[in-house]
């Protein structure tokens, strides 16, 4: 019985130590659990983010979604989102609606849409790496293409 | 059925049945359900944590993460069955530990341990899938039927 108490105490200590407020937590570390709303990303240098921001706002206007990330590459534009829990039964319909809206509003763009957590996580990671200037230009574009290819494997 | 049986009973048998019902220990159905709910829920939470682990640290997507997660859960339950922990959990939680995929691992290993004395081939090999074999058979067959229906619906343009 005493040993069980020790284990419970140890587990509590580990839990409390992980809740330390001073720790710097990256967005990607919690992106699977909380809303991160990453800023729109453009992989190419010297390109305006206004257009990507408009796309993000349009997608965010869907009431079923709660976290949207948009990445604009050289050819493709990746739109990743999380669906609210009760609407997850209608995932296919939501994807269809978003695709339809985007194709109507932005006919010149080539969109890749995904609601997969992994794709979202990789998008947030890409955003973080670009902010910390680890990734620039071609490197970011290559990583972006890898993420887009990942979505194609899902279909 | 039950009422016709009661009509055919002698007064002595009826008295005995009443006495037996009086002393019969009632099954704590609600308590068992709550136990099964919480233990089954905890197993699912562990499974969810494992799938997040695979998504976070490996190149698994939400769709492909099911396979390694199920494999890990089954492997863990097999280990716990070998150590004798899962049997105790099964006694406590009942369906809560048998219904999740971990119950499959438990069914395989407990049958293997039980027939170990009969030898490796005829004992372990022959009886290992005594319980789990039907699960595999029904799983594979129902997957085949569902895939067939889906293929037909896709061909006919419904989906």
What is residue A18's predicted lDDT score, i.e. its pLDDT? Answer: 64
- Interchain contact B129–A (C-beta under 8 A): no
Q: What is the pLDDT of residue A147?
A: 92
Burial classification of residue A117, based on how many CB atoms lie within 10 Å of its CB (0-12 exposed, 13-18 middle, 19 or more buried): buried
Q: Does the distance separating the beta carbons of A121 and B61 come in below 8 Å?
A: no
> Which chain B residues touch A154 with a CB distance below 8 Å?
61, 63
Parallel, antiparallel or unpaired: strands A41-42 and A65-72: parallel
The pLDDT of A67-76, averaged and rounded, is 90
Is A13 within 8 Å of chain B by CB?
no
pLDDT-based confidence at A23, cuts 50/70/90? Answer: low
What pLDDT digit, counting tens, does each position of B74-119 carry?
999 999 999 999 999 999 999 999 999 999 999 999 999 999 999 9
The whole-number pLDDT of residue A140 equals: 86
- At residue B89, the pLDDT reads 94
Residue A137 pLDDT more than 80? no
Q: Give the closest-approach CA distance of B25 to chain A in angstroms.
A: 30
Average pLDDT over residues B5-25: 88
- Tell whether ipTM is more than 0.85: no
Q: What token pair was written down for B121?
A: 């081939």
Rounded mean pLDDT of A133-150? 84
Q: Sheet containing A76-83: which strands, arranged edge to edge?
A: A41-42, A65-72, A76-83, A110-114
Ordered by start, the domain boundaries in chain A are 26-154
Q: Does A89 touch chain B (CB under 8 A)?
A: no
Q: Residue B159's closest chain A neighbor by CA? A: A92
Q: Is B56 on the interface with A (CB under 8 A)?
A: yes
pLDDT at A71: 92
Task: Quote the mean pLDDT of chain A.
Answer: 85
To the nearest whole percent, how much of chain A has pLDDT over 70? Answer: 88
In contact, B9 and B15? CB cutoff 8 Å: no
Question: B61 and A118: CB-CB below 8 Å?
Answer: yes
Contact B62/A at CB under 8 A: yes
Closest CA to A88 of B62, B50, B139: B62
Q: How many other CB atoms are found less than 10 A from the CB of residue A25?
A: 9
Lowest model confidence (mean pLDDT) among A34-43, A60-69, B83-92: A34-43
CB A62 within 8 A of CB A78: no
Class (C level, CATH) for A26-154? alpha beta
Residues in CB range of A120: below 8 A, 6 or more apart:
A31, A32, A67, A69, A80, A81, A82, A114
């Amino acid at each position: 019985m005493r040993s069980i108490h020790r284990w419970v105490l140890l587990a509590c200590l580990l839990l409390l130590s992980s809740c330390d407020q001073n720790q710097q937590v990256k967005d990607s570390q919690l992106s699977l659990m909380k809303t991160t709303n990453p800023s729109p990303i453009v992989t190419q240098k010297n390109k305006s983010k206004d257009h990507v921001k408009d796309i993000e706002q349009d997608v965010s206007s869907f009431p079923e979604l709660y976290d949207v990330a948009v990445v604009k590459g050289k050819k493709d534009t990746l739109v990743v989102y999380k669906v609210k829990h009760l609407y997850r039964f209608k995932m296919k319909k939501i994807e269809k609606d978003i695709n339809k809206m985007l194709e109507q509003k932005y006919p010149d763009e080539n969109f890749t849409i995904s609601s997969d957590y992994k794709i979202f996580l990789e998008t947030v990671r890409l955003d973080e790496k670009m902010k910390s200037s680890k990734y620039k230009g071609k490197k970011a574009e290559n990583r972006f293409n890898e993420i887009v290819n990942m979505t194609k494997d899902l279909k | 059925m039950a009422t016709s049986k009661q009509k055919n009973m002698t007064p002595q048998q009826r008295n005995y049945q009443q006495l037996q019902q009086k002393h019969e220990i009632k099954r704590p159905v609600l308590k068992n359900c709550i136990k099964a709910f919480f233990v089954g829920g905890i197993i699912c939470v562990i499974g969810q944590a494992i799938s997040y682990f695979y998504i976070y640290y490996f190149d698994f997507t939400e769709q492909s993460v099911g396979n390694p997660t199920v494999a890990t859960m089954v492997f863990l339950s097999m280990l716990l069955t070998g150590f004798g922990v899962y049997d105790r959990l099964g006694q406590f939680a009942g369906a809560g530990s048998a219904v999740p995929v971990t119950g499959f691992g438990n069914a395989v290993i407990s049958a293997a341990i039980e027939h170990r004395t009969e030898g490796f081939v005829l004992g372990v090999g022959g009886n290992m899938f005594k319980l789990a074999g039907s699960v595999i058979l029904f799983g594979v067959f129902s997957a085949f039927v569902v895939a067939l229906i889906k293929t037909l619906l896709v061909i006919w343009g419904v989906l």
